[in-house]
């Protein structure tokens, strides 16, 4: 895995590394949930930071056509959740594990399909020749962080669930795409940490 320098555009990754490695990530109640992991890839180019996501193909078993981070379920051969996220990212997008500078974990989130997903934030160098697996990935999206932080990019709503509890939901508009569900919850975490990162110029 690569290691970033704490200068220039690398100020944000180093600030995130300090924040993420000094906290203990939380997880939700996971009765019978299947463990899974995703990579939250960041990439700097054209003077700004971008979050890399993909649009799932129409041939995958679940979440067809949705915007997602690369990832999948934990396999017996995976050493841990980070290894799972890196393996799945390699399989889905052709990003080699050794090319990712891992910064640290975010809190785990539950999906509607009963997966407990552990996100790991990492930096991918630029330029990089993504090689998406056409069976799983229909398109790669580069979402500028500064645009995601703008007022109006996030849509919040609260829904009353059948058991009477109130569930808060968030979604993000990214060009022609709507980011929702677990991916949006993970993205909300990341943007919150970016917003509190000192002396990084936000998304610069």
Sign (positive/negative) of CA torsion 128, 129, 133, 138?
Answer: positive
Q: What is the pTM of this model?
A: 0.88
- pLDDT tens for each residue of 104-162: 999 999 888 889 999 999 999 999 999 999 899 999 999 999 999 998 889 887 766 66
Q: How far apart, in whole angstroms, are the C-alpha atoms of residue 182 and residue 170?
A: 9
- pLDDT tens for each residue of 72-111: 999 999 999 999 999 999 999 999 999 999 999 999 998 8
Residue-range domains of the chain with CATH: 8-145 (3.90.79.10)
Q: Residue 7's pLDDT is what?
A: 37
DSSP string, 88-156: HHHHHH---GGG-EEEEE---EE-TTSEEEEEEEEE--SS------TTTEEEEEEEEHHHHTSTTSEEE
C-alpha distances out from residue 129 to 94, 126, 137, 188, Å = 8, 9, 15, 27
Name the nearest CA neighbour of 126 among 6, 2, 28, 19.
2
């Amino acid at each position: 895995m690569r290691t970033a320098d704490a200068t220039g555009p690398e100020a944000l990754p180093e600030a995130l590394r300090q924040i993420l490695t000094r906290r203990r990530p939380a997880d939700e109640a996971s009765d019978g949930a299947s463990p899974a992991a995703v990579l939250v890839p960041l990439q700097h180019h054209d003077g700004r930071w971008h979050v890399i996501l993909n649009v799932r193909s129409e041939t995958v078993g679940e979440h067809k056509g949705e915007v997602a981070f690369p990832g999948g379920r934990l396999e017996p051969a995976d050493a841990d959740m980070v290894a799972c996220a890196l393996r799945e990212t390699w399989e889905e997008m052709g990003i080699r594990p050794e090319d990712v500078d891992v910064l640290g974990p975010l809190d785990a989130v539950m999906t509607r399909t009963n997966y407990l997903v552990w996100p790991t934030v990492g930096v991918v160098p630029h330029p990089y020749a993504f090689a998406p697996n056409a069976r799983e990935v229909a398109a790669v999206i580069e979402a500028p962080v500064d645009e995601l932080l703008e007022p109006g990019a996030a849509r919040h709503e609260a829904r009353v669930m059948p058991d009477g509890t109130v569930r808060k939901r968030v979604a993000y508009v990214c060009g022609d795409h709507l980011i929702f569900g677990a991916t949006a919850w993970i993205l909300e975490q990341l943007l919150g940490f970016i917003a509190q990162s000192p002396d990084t110029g936000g998304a610069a």
